Amino acid sequence: MQRKRIISITILVFVAIAAISVSVCLFFVNQSNDSQARNRLVRYQTVYKGRTYDKTALVYLPRGYQNSSKKYNVLFLMHGWGMSENDFIKGDSNDQAPVINDLMKDEKDPFIVVSPTYYPDRTFANDSQASEDRLTKRFAKTEILQVLRVVQAKYRVYKGRNHYGFAGFSFGAITGWAVMQDQLSHFRYFQMIAGGDDRAAQLRSKLLKSKLAYDVTVSVGSDDYVNNGTPYDIDRTMNTLKNVPHIRFHIELIKTGAMICRAPCGS
């Protein structure tokens, strides 16, 4: 899939408790010291093909976390092909485009954002599409639970699935579909941006049999190449998932490979 297709991204994710929905919109803003002060790391180890890797996930703690005793909802936010766990929260040397300051600016019910990576280390970031696919599905099958346990042990967060959402862009979205397949007992809310599911028929069967509640929003730009016959074609995914409840689709008519999802996304 195309690397670094970030021109302008807005992500809408619904993370709700009981009747309360938390709307999440992500877009690029300038980095600030205030944002940096609230970024933290969690460290863990994972084994891939017999080798142990020391890994980190970036954690954003909302304003007021240190001075309160309340528990927080959690959003997992996954990057795309060639990106890293730092890109959405810290930005990089080229675009300086963290999203978190503006994400929380008007948020009435702030939440914790966890930004992991499916790469064992950065040497995997330039591999093939087949490698990306294997790594995303492996992360969703096993490693995400390692990150979840570390976050739950270190921070004041709820532990029920109703308090957890997963959003992903590009191969991060493909990771999200895999999380739905394998971890629906841990995550309730999802948003997939610019990436479809190459196992949609299997997911459809699982969701129709599931007694667990879930909410999914799928978004893509009108000219995004992912819909040009790739294995992750979103049109094909949505056709396969047609009439499956609680899955909403939104396409933004823009002339770039990026997408913008404006509230109410998926309506």
Q: Are strands 51-60 and 39-48 parallel, antiparallel or unpaired?
A: antiparallel
Tokens of 102: 């503006």
What is the model's pLDDT at position 88? 78
Q: Are the C-beta atoms of residues 170 and 129 closer than 8 Å to each other? A: no
Residue among 125, 243, 241, 254 nearest 192 (CA): 241
Tens digit of pLDDT for each residue in 163-201?
Answer: 999 999 999 999 999 999 999 999 999 999 999 999 999
Q: What is the mean pLDDT of the chain?
A: 79
The CATH class of 13-252 is alpha beta
Query: Any bridge partners for residue 167, and if so which?
Result: 77, 191
> Could you give the angle at the alpha carbon of 60 between the alpha carbons of 134 and 161, nearest 5°?
65
Q: Are the C-beta atoms of residues 101 and 90 closer than 8 Å to each other? A: no
pLDDT class for 235, splitting at 50, 70, 90? Answer: confident
Domain ranges of the chain: 13-252
pLDDT class for 93, splitting at 50, 70, 90? Answer: low
More confident call, 78 vs 37: 78
Q: How far apart are CA 19 and CA 68, in angstroms?
A: 23
Query: Any bridge partners for residue 59, and if so which?
Result: 40, 114
For residue 159, give the 3-state DSSP assignment. Answer: coil
Q: How far apart are CA 129 and CA 126, in angstroms?
A: 9
Q: Which of 137-141, 186-190, 246-250 is predicted least confidently?
A: 246-250
pLDDT class for 33, splitting at 50, 70, 90? Answer: very low
CB-based contacts of 161, cutoff 8 Å, min separation 6: 184, 185, 186, 187, 188, 212
DSSP secondary structure, 27-46, as one string = ------HHHHHTEEEEEEEE
Residue among 105, 55, 111, 60 nearest 84 (CA): 55
Mean pLDDT of 246-257: 63
Q: How far apart are CA 10 and CA 118, in angstroms?
A: 22
What does each C-alpha distance from 180 to 29, 61, 190, 191, 206 come to in angstroms? 30, 25, 8, 11, 9
More confident call, 168 vs 259: 168
Torsion, Cα 41 87 85 136, to 10 degrees, reads: 160
> Could you give the angle at the alpha carbon of 51 between the alpha carbons of 46 and 56, nearest 5°?
35
